[in-house]
Amino acid sequence: MCMDNNVITVIVEKEDRNKLIAMQECDYAFQKSIVNSLDFDAMWEKISKNAIFLVAQNEKLETVGYAALYANNTKTHQAYISLLCVKKEAQNNHVGQSLINECIEKALCNKMNSIKLEVLTNNYKAIAFYRHNGFEIYDINQEKNSYYMLKNL
C-alpha cells in the first residue's frame, strides 16, 4: 500500500525471536506495557503457539507496528485480535489500516465469520478507528474498563 509517500508492507512473522522484538519495539505505544505485564509469559505462549502474527514494516524495513490474530475457533468461527499496535511516530500513516485489513483477510481465509477485539474505554482514537472499520461495541468489561467490539465479515 502506498500512501503519503510511505510504503507499508505487512508480513506474517513465523520466527518467535522476531515476534518478540516487534512487541518490545512497539511496547511504548500502549497505555500500559504489554511485555512487562504480569501475565506476559502466558500471553506470549498463546501468541507463539496459536496466533497469526503480522508485522508492519516501512520502506526501510523497520517495524512500525504489529497485530496478533487468532483465527482458529472452528466452533464459533469467530476470530480475535488480541493485540494491534502502531508505533507513535508511525500513527496516522495508514499502518493500523494495513494491519486491520490484513487481519480481516486472514480471518476470511480461515473461514471466520466475525472478528472480536477488546479496547480500553479511554482509548478514544482506537475506538474511532475500529468503528471506522465496521466494528461495533457489543459488551463492556467493567473490571478492566474495556469494551468488546465485533465486526461481522
Lowest-confidence segment of 30-34, 122-126, 139-143 by average pLDDT: 30-34
Mean pLDDT of 10-32: 90
Mean pLDDT of 94-116: 97
pLDDT, tens only, 113-130: 999 999 999 999 999 999
Helices (H) and strands (E) in the chain, counts: 4, 9
The confidence score (pLDDT) of residue 4 equals: 45
User: Which domains does the chain show, CATH number per domain?
Assistant: 2-113 (3.40.630.30)
**pLDDT of 30 over the 90 cut:** no
Task: Give which of 41, 5, 13 is closest to 99, Cα–Cα.
Answer: 13
Instruction: Decide which of 148 and 1 is more confident.
Output: 148
**pLDDT of 6 over the 90 cut:** no
CB of 143 closer than 8 Å to CB of 97: no
**pLDDT of 1 over the 60 cut:** no
Q: Indicate the SS3 state at residue 118.
A: strand
